[in-house]
Structure 1
Amino acid sequence: MGRRRRDSDDDDDDIEERFNKKSAKLARKEKERAAPVEGKLSEEEKARRKEAKKARQKERKAEERKAEEQERLQEKEERRVEQERLEKKRQRKREKRERDKVKKSQNPGDEKIKGKSSEPKGEIKELSMGIQYYDKQIGTGPSIEDRSRIRVSYVGKANDENGKVFDRSNDFSFKIGKGDVIKGWDIGIRSMKKGGTRVLIVPPKAAYGNRDVGAGVGGKLWFQVHVKDCNPNEKGKV
């Protein structure tokens, strides 16, 4: 009674075999899903590589933007340096013009004469002792007379108006007719007015005689004298 029939055992074997085959098939599919076929990538690998590519592109773009920004900053700095250089150059020119303007206003008679003067000469006139002069600029106000105290700027040259400079001053004060200066000045400066500029041509006998004061011996002396201030009635210092 308790013994199974043979045909039942065969059926059980068939069922077990089919179950084993099905399990093996499922295992192979699972393995195939877990391990991709050679030459093909899994979805996870594709996604990973895609993310890595995006990261590399993002990093490359960031580096390019950084390089462009550095280039812009460098160009900006170069423009700033160039503007500063040009501004300094313009400032130096403005300062030079201001200095020249002040110098000219303070000392218009102390100008170098090179070649032919751009300012036309006045008529050359002759005084006593062979002194000659011509006016480059006529001043205003009362004329300088004997005993007048005046303040001048001047430049002295040897032999002619383009000669060697042997003496000069931007501010020299003296009294006419008191022997403070050479005869060529005492005689040649009279009749000038404040603001006037005169060129005196003085022979040795009305200057330093045979003494060499840096202009050689025996030559005529040329003085360009500008009257900065004068007061014919003032006995004190101007």
Structure 2
Amino acid sequence: MIPRLALFTLSALCLSMAHADEVQVAVAANFTAPIQAIAADFEKDTGHTLVASYGATGQFYTQIKNGAPFEVFLAADDSTPAKLEKEGDTVVGSRFTYAVGTLALWSAKEGYVDDRGAVLAANQYQHLSIANPKAAPYGLAATQVLDKLKLTEATKAKIVEGQNISQAYQFVSTGNAELGFVALSQIYKDGKVTSGSAWIVPSDLYSPINQDAVVLSKGKDSAAAKALMDYLKGPKAAAIIKSYGYAL
């Protein structure tokens, strides 16, 4: 005979599992590592499962407009979610800024990039990697930096363009480009650069990278989507986000 307390615990567990759900999330590529860490805690704490797809914000916009099954969008900017909101493709009132991104100039080589980014103006490299500025906000920020430093023309023939910030990072990590503009979150953890050498680009050289989250129309009745948005505003997610070099 099963004790009453065990029966109650089993019933509560079954009830919890019955209400657990999946949430399909479109995640800007720069936020890959943080969301993977958050997803593990989110599933443990809520029972819901986060299923993430990674890519460029501009490409996700097109996919969403074409009926992609995403329920939540974690963009790399604030303008794309605002545009979707204006076009009636989101749950009104759900949008908020979950992170503020930082741009870094990075090389996989130790000591190659100095802490003031002088290597950029020295122009001794063959290839400079950036993300597609039309689809990826970090790519747009990179072009703004080059413009502010009056290096657009000097670097034009050296640009290697990735479809998104992950590909821009890969070009540098594999040695196909000596250096490149990446998201700080890709090379940073717990207060330090984890590999190679980097210049954390001063924020006055590019427009703020306010990254907004929004519940899409397909997620309007999803308990998991609502739970994720609440979780992203909580202390556990905030600690993880900060550890990757984002501001809140």
Tell me the TM-score range normalised by the shorter chain: under 0.3
Q: What is the TM-score of this pair, normalised by structure 1?
A: 0.20
Q: What is the TM-score of this pair, normalised by structure 2?
A: 0.19
> Which structure exhibits the higher relative contact order, with contacts defined as CA atoms closer than 8 Å and separated by 6 or more residues?
2
